[in-house]
Amino acid sequence: MNDVKKMYIDGEWVVSASGQTRDTINPATGRVLATVTEGTAADVDRAVAAARQAFDEGPWGTTPAGARAALLFKLADLVEANGEELGALETSDNGKPLRETAYDVADTAACLRYYAGLITKPTGQTYEVADPMQAMVVREPVGVCGLIVPWNYPLLMATWKIAPALAAGNSIVFKPSELTPLTAIRLFELIEEAGFPKGVANLVLGAGPVVGARIAEHMDIDKIAFTGGTKTGRAIMTAATGNLKKISLELGGKSPCVVFEDADLETAVDWALFAIFANQGQVCSAGSRLLLQASIHDQFVERLVERAKQIRVAPGDSEGVEMGAMISEAHMEKVLSYIKIGKAEGATLKCGGHRLTENGLGEGFFIAPTIFADTTPDMRIVQEEIFGPVLAVQKFTDEADAIALANHTIYGLAGGVFTNDGARALRFIKKLRAGITWINAYHPTYNEAPWGGYKQSGIGRDLGTFGLDGYTEVKQININLAPGPVGWFEA
Ligand code: NAD
């Protein structure tokens, strides 16, 4: 059992109570990368007890914001110092190109520093109320937070939750995706090295329906913060009702990238490719629907297809790679099945549409960049989140048509618009029912700005001050400055 990777519970590296293990696969080669312990509900219970103790009775509750910030700054330094290793580990576990994991690691350190800085800044409010009372509001940590994240940005999604949760003074029970546990394990080694008190940060590993579900239903967890699919989010919301946990959900999307005829064509083509094919299309906010004004449609699609065909698909650690492997064989099959659905629905396949197997790619799980045109708004490839390198192109006539099509899904995560008409850009964005938007750009994310969706794309926000708010309770304190009887009852 020595080379089995362990969980971190109450300051100790432990194997699961069940003794079970799980192999994690390198999706570029199909080969086993590591074996990790497979947690169970009993392991979650141990972790929650440790987190509860650390929050209710341990030193964490009396650790001032400045000291918490110092630990987070130290963790950021450690992430940076081990950045190359973390990046390589993420690429081998997830399949994405090294240039993307380098970005993820840099952003991880930046996110830790952002919340370390933010937590020491002024907060709270005071109110002038009737004499002799004084009213004020303070923010306090929620308590024990259960944090569950997906596999598409393992390290970054972990940090978007861990950084604000710990900065605000909560203790945590964190679960990575069972498909990509390795950078989380390394991150918790760095958390230990940074010197966080035992029990404050706990790592549990294992299957969603077992370990994740136990976190969601646990009566001693005060808040659950989840990033993942909309279906899972719904299950978590239901499971969390037992003790009415605070919840925040970052869910799926089917986001529109919209191009008007006055936009610069080469610029918009370039961003549209980035919008859908970055991270192999496995991005919640991916521009997976491209809405083109009819007058530029054919010319735009022609240029887009020409460029999509040139994207270099290869293992994430190879020279010059632009798109890596899909996360798993099962997910690759799911994406391929959507390609079949698109063809059966009558959309025109303009490029890609198949698995890549030449030059050794057949050992891993690679899909060619795929573009469908001639879609109709109700096709499944237009409505459902495919979460892969598959783009559905839609055609619109005017601004009203564009906005109607853009909003015509159950999701509302993100969207971008390309036009040289500033007033139209803002008019369009104001009508778009989505939480993350861009004008003449697509994808840039900032730790300072809130991240989250409208409609079935989620509840609450990660990042920014909004993200921190989600890990706090608000308390009003009313102080009598001239203590004496209230005198309401005469006798
Ligand atoms: P998923 O919902 O299958 O899994 C996400 C996490 O939930 C994993 O850790 C998994 O083990 C766990 N889980 C699964 N079933 C569970 C259950 N019943 N109870 C508790 N936990 C459970 O999602 P995925 O396939 O890992 O990730 C892809 C999805 O994540 C996409 O839909 C994508 O849009 C979404 N996502 C959203 C954002 C965002 O910020 N909105 C960011 C990244 C990914």
> Counting runs of H as helices and runs of E as strands, what totals does the chain give?
15, 24
Q: State the pLDDT at residue 91.
A: 98
| Position in ligand 1 atom list of the atom nearest CA 331 | 25
Secondary structure (3-state) at 355: strand
> What's the average model confidence in pLDDT over 202-226?
98
Please tell me the distance between residue 186's alpha carbon and the centre of ligand 1 in angstroms: 21
Q: How far apart are CA 454 and CA 95, in angstroms?
A: 30
pLDDT of 1 higher than 80:
no
- Residue among 473, 474, 475 at smallest CA distance from 223: 473
Among 284, 385, 454, 455, which is best to mutate for testing ligand 1, by the most ligand atoms less than 8 A from CB?
284
In the block, residue with structure tokens 């045109």? 373
Name which residue sits closest to atom 22 of ligand 1, judged by CA. 208
122 pLDDT band, cuts 50/70/90, is: confident
The predicted pLDDT at position 48 comes to 98
Q: Is the pLDDT of residue 2 over 90?
A: no
Cβ < 6 A, ligand 1 pocket: 148-152, 157, 175, 177-178, 208-209, 212-213, 216, 227-229, 232, 235-236, 250-253, 284, 385, 387, 413, 451, 453, 458
pTM, full prediction: 0.98
Q: Please check the confidence at residue 300 and state whether its pLDDT lies above 90.
A: yes
Atom of ligand 1 at shortest range from CA of 387: 31
With a cut of 90, say whether residue 29 has pLDDT above it.
Answer: yes
Q: Tell me the sheet residues that pair with 243.
A: none
Supply angle C-alpha 279, 280, 283, rounded to 5: 55
Ligand 1 atom showing the smallest separation from residue 175 Cα: 9
pLDDT band with cut points at 50, 70 and 90 for residue 321: very high
Task: State the Cα–Cα distance between residues 39 and 393, nearest whole angstrom.
Answer: 42
Q: What is the mean pLDDT of residues 202-213?
A: 98
CA 484 to ligand 1 centroid distance, Å? 55
Q: What residues act catalytically?
A: 250, 284
Measured by CA distance, the residue closest to atom 11 of ligand 1 is: 208
Instruction: Render pLDDT for 129-147 as a digit per residue (tens, 0 to 9).
Output: 999 999 999 999 999 999 9
Rg (CA), the chain: 24
State both tokens at 266: 């080469």
- Protein residue with least CA distance to atom 19, ligand 1: 213
- Return d(Cα 251, Cα 231) in angstroms, integer: 9
Interatomic CA distance for residues 461 and 334, integer angstroms: 29
| All residues at 6 or more sequence positions from 89 whose CB lies less than 8 Å from its CB, including other chains | 182, 183, 186
The pLDDT > 90 percentage for the chain reads 97
**pLDDT tens by residue, 423-452:** 999 999 999 999 999 999 999 999 999 999
CA 23 vs. chain centroid, Å, equals: 23
pLDDT, tens digit (0-9, with 9 covering 90-100), for 344-377: 999 999 999 999 999 999 999 999 999 999 999 9
Model confidence pLDDT, tens digit, residues 143-180: 999 999 999 999 999 999 999 999 999 999 999 999 99
Question: Which residues share a beta bridge with 21?
Answer: 37
Ligand 1 atom 43, closest CA: 284
State pLDDT tens for residues 221-262: 999 999 999 999 999 999 999 999 999 999 999 999 999 999
Going from the Cα of 94 to the center of ligand 1, the distance in angstroms, rounded, reads 14
- Which atom of ligand 1 lies at the shortest distance from residue 216's CA? 20
pLDDT in tens, 459-491: 999 999 999 999 999 999 999 999 999 999 998
State the chain's mean pLDDT as an integer.
Answer: 97
User: Using CA of residue 303, residue 308, residue 312, residue 317, what is the dihedral sign?
Assistant: positive
233 Cα to the center of ligand 1, angstroms: 7
pLDDT score of 61: 83
Residue nearest to atom 39 of ligand 1 (CA): 250
CA of 163 to the centre of ligand 1 (A): 19
Distance, in Å, from the CA atom of 308 to the CA atom of 281, rounded to the nearest integer, reads 13
- Token readout for 323 is 């798109």
Q: What is the pLDDT of residue 17?
A: 85
CA of 150 to the centre of ligand 1 (A): 4
Cα of 137 from ligand 1 centre, angstroms = 35
**Amino acid 58: pLDDT:** 86
Question: Nearest residue CA, atom 40 of ligand 1?
Answer: 250
Distance 335 CA to ligand 1 centre (A): 16
Ligand 1, closest atom to CA 206? 11
- Candidate from 111, 227, 334, 383 with most ligand 1 atoms within 8 A of CB, to mutate: 227
Coil, strand, or helix at residue 328?
Answer: coil
DSSP-derived pairing of the beta strands 31-37 and 21-26 = antiparallel
Taking CA atoms only, the protein residue closest to ligand 1 atom 8 is 177
Q: 388 C-alpha vs ligand 1 centroid, how far in Å?
A: 15
How many CB atoms within 10 Å of residue 126? 12
Our mutation pick for probing the ligand 1 site, out of 22, 152, 232, counting the most ligand atoms within 8 A of Cβ, is 232
With 90 as the cut, is the pLDDT of residue 37 above it? Answer: yes
Alpha helices in 204-255, H assignment, sequence order: 213-217, 230-239
Q: For residue 187, give every residue at least 6 positions away whose Cβ sits within 8 Å of its Cβ, in sequence order, or none.
A: 79, 86, 155, 158, 159, 162
Which 8-state DSSP code applies to residue 123? -
Ligand 1, atom 26, lies closest to the CA of 150
Atom 15 in ligand 1: residue holding the nearest Cα: 208
Q: Is the pLDDT of residue 192 over 80?
A: yes
